[in-house]
Amino acid sequence: MVSATPQAPRSPGTGRPRTEGAKGPWWRWLVFGLCFSLGFGLTQRLSRMGSSPAKGGIPSFSAQDPPGTRLGELQKRFGAEGHSLLGNLERLAEERLQERQSQEEESRKAAQEQRDQERQDAARREADRARLEALNNGPDPAVPTPEPILLPPQEPAPSPAPDPAATTPPGAAANPP
């Protein structure tokens, strides 16, 4: 029986066998980084606690009031009487239905008014077109010409009796015997 010794793992790139020392120094760097960050954090915390907030440092962790408005302040502002927070869903549904119906009615009225306006506009346009055609074509032969107004004949006014001297010829006697 022939036995062969197993070959040592080789490093990629050089092809040389790896030694135990070169197996993985990465874990050393990990431990070094963790220790460094822990020391840095502790130093920061201690320096903050040592400085006063008046100098611009960050205050230590102390209890603070929660943000927002307190219930007592709201009661003072708006009155302390209690209001029911429950709503009447049937009344709300009824109001919505009435609102929807009124909106539909308004839209129907608006549509009817628009149709009426369109009809009036169309009739006005048609009348204008007819007038323009009449002006372009000249006088309409179907239109009768107005008849002259006839006045009743006037009777001659009675004249006064003629003067006998004015009606007799010269040299004749004015009054016969």
- Mean pLDDT (10-residue bins), the chain, 177 residues: 63 65 75 96 86 60 81 83 78 95 97 96 94 78 71 74 63 58
The predicted structure's pLDDT at residue 62: 74
Report pTM: 0.30
Contacts of 140 (CB under 8 A, 6+ apart): 134
The predicted structure's pLDDT at residue 41: 93
On whether the CB atoms of residues 18 and 8 are closer than 8 A, the answer is: yes
The predicted structure's pLDDT at residue 153: 78
The predicted structure's pLDDT at residue 56: 59
The predicted structure's pLDDT at residue 133: 87
On whether the CB atoms of residues 16 and 26 are closer than 8 A, the answer is: no
The predicted structure's pLDDT at residue 75: 84
The predicted structure's pLDDT at residue 121: 96
